[in-house]
Amino acid sequence: MQTVLLAISANLIVTSALKQILKWSFGRYWPETWTEGNPSLIGNGAYGFHPFHFGTRYESFPSGHAAVVFSVIAILWLSYPRWRRLQATMAAIVAVALVGLNFHFVGDVIAGATLGTLAGVYVARGFRLA
C-alpha cells in the first residue's frame, strides 16, 4: 500500500508538470466562461487554439482534472484489479461530468485521460507495480 501511495504521489507531480506544458503548447479557449471573463465558445463564440500563450484563458486543453483522475486510476487499475469495475465507473463519471457541465470539450477530456493513463502506466512500471 505504501508503494502504491508513493507511486500515486510521484505520478501526480509528473502528470501535473506534463499537462501544464501541454496547456501552454496548445493554448485552447474554454467551452464556457467561469472566471475572469475568459473568452469561450458559449459565452461569446470564441473558439480556437493559441499556441504558446500564458494565462487561464488558454488552459482548456488538455483537461487537467481528467489527467489527474486517470493517472490515479491507472495506478489503482494495475495495483488492485479486483476493483476495476468501480475504478472505470468513477473515471467515466468524471469524464462525462467535465463535458456535461461545459468545463471542457470532449477532445480536452480525451487528451487529459490519455495523458494521465500513460503517465500512470509508466510510473507504475517504474515502481514495479505492473
22-61, pLDDT tens digit by residue? Answer: 999 998 888 887 777 788 788 888 888 888 887 787 888 9
Q: Measuring CA to CA, how many Å separate 28 from each of 19, 24, 66, 90, 125?
A: 13, 9, 16, 26, 32
67-113, pLDDT tens digit by residue? Answer: 999 999 999 999 999 999 999 999 999 999 999 998 899 999 999 99
Domain of residue 61, residue span = 2-126
Q: For the chain, what is the domain count?
A: 1
pTM of the model: 0.87
Beta bridge partners of 40: 30
Pair 70, 98: CB distance under 8 Å: no
